């Protein structure tokens, strides 16, 4: 049933505001998914609502299966001028992410496609066709100046569909031939498949990989990020990368107050033991639709913690659910956010993480030959 969209709730909605039964998708239809609803995105003039007609027909609706849609992009490198992140360019081989991490700050981008940031985000995926060819063309452009390209900062380049589509591998092949630096963030052990490319690149100072580990508890990981690699597999990926000479680090991201923040020290210790050299963290971010999706997840899996978790989150965001202020959106503000930061710093220092920050090389860059350009004999 389609209904006119109601006025949006204010950002500081009260904890007592209920999630209606029609918000939630039947558990059988979303088995193995992170979100528990599939509400329309913020740009849609109408809202989709599942409503039983009295015959129990809603129980017969099909399960959410992964659909892959080909996307013809015009460019593949995305530029940014954000003052609080360490890179100015990135590549996202895919839109949407099958890992289904309920807290993913990239979920709202699906609203731009006319899709839900909920279950649509993790089941209706877009693959960028010809990404490697586009990248080669952009690297060959006159005046291109190399700087580290970040991959995996929005959606995971090694999500399950990469096994078949191999877009990430084709991108790495282009970067390797051009001696172009790359930094990767992933929650997938599939990254070890590409050690044959990453190893030689790392030997030249051109590659590093960060594994994002939010918890060591497989049960929590299963509900929070259902189709990502298990925590043990991610730690093993750090070990394999390190043994192959690929600089590996750990991202404790996101840190969720009263959900996984008790594990900060244990995660860092496990990652350091596996060979991680550096570490970072990001406090939970709840932009746009992620706010309600995360709240629904808490009600489903941790109802007894709901009030406490949301209260702590707001204490780190100036009383709001989220504050996108530069310099604070990644780490938050206030006493609780400060405590998380200090715990992280103390643990990292004790484990000798971040003693030396690796800077990748750009001086080896060799631009690909442009179309029609003649090869030289000497």
Secondary structure string (H, E, C) spanning 13-62: CCCCCCCCHHHECCCCCCCCCCCCECCCCCCCCEEECCCCCCCCHHHHCC
What residues of the chain score a pLDDT lower than 70? Answer: 1-22, 49-60, 371-378
> Which pLDDT score is estimated for 15?
40
The region, left, alpha or beta by phi > 0 then psi within -120 to 50, assigned to residue 81 is alpha
The pTM score is 0.89
Q: Where are the domains of the chain?
A: 2-56+64-350
Q: What is the pLDDT of residue 3?
A: 46
What is the reported pLDDT for 13?
Answer: 38
The whole-angstrom separation of Cα 125 and Cα 29 is: 18
What angle, rounded to 10 degrees, do the helices at 290-301 and 306-315 form?
A: 150
CA 26, 27, 30, 35 dihedral sign is positive
Element (H, E) at 177: helix 167-177
Classified by CATH at the fold level, domain 2-56+64-350 comes out as TIM Barrel (3.20.20)
User: For residues 106 and 97, what is the distance between their CA atoms, to the nearest angstrom?
Assistant: 9
Rounded Cα distance between 180 and 365, Å, is 5
Nearest to 51 by CA among 76, 26, 33: 26
């Amino acid at each position: 049933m389609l209904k006119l969209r109601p006025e949006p709730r204010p950002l500081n909605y009260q904890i007592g505001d209920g999630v209606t039964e029609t918000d939630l998708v039947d558990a059988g239809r979303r088995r193995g998914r992170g979100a528990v609803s599939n509400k329309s995105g913020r740009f849609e003039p109408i809202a989709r609502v599942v409503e039983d007609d009295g015959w129990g027909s809603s129980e017969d609706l099909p399960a959410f299966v992964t659909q892959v849609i080909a996307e013809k992009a015009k460019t593949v490198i995305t530029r940014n001028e954000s003052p609080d992140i360490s890179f100015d360019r990135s590549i996202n081989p895919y839109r949407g992410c099958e890992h289904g991490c309920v807290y993913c700050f990239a979920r709202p981008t699906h609203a731009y496609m006319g899709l839900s940031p909920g279950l649509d985000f993790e089941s209706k995926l877009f693959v960028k066709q010809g990404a490697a060819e586009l990248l080669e063309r952009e690297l060959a452009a006159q005046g291109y100046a190399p700087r580290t390209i970040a991959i995996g900062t929005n959606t995971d380049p090694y999500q399950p569909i990469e096994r078949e589509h191999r877009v990430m591998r084709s991108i790495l092949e282009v970067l390797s031939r051009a001696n172009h630096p790359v930094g990767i963030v992933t929650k997938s052990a599939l990254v070890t498949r590409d050690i044959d490319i990453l190893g030689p690149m790392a030997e030249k100072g051109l590659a590093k990989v960060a594994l994002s580990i939010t918890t060591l508890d497989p049960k929590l990981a299963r509900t929070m990020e259902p189709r990502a690699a298990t925590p043990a597999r991610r730690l093993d990926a750090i070990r394999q990368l390190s043994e192959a000479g690929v600089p590996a680090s750990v991202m404790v991201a996101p840190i969720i107050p009263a959900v996984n923040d008790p594990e900060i020290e244990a995660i860092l210790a496990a990652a350091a033991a596996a060979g991680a050299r550096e570490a970072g963290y990001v406090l939970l971010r709840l932009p746009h639709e992620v706010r309600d999706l995360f709240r629904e997840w808490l009600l489903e899996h941790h109802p007894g913690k709901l009030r406490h978790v949301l209260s702590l989150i707001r204490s780190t965001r100036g009383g709001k659910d989220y504050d996108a202020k530069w310099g604070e959106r990644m780490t938050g503000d206030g006493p609780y956010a400060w405590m998380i930061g200090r715990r992280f710093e103390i643990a990292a220092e004790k484990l000798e993480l971040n003693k030396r920050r690796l800077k990748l090389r750009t001086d080896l860059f060799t631009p690909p030959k442009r179309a029609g350009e003649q090869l030289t004999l000497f």
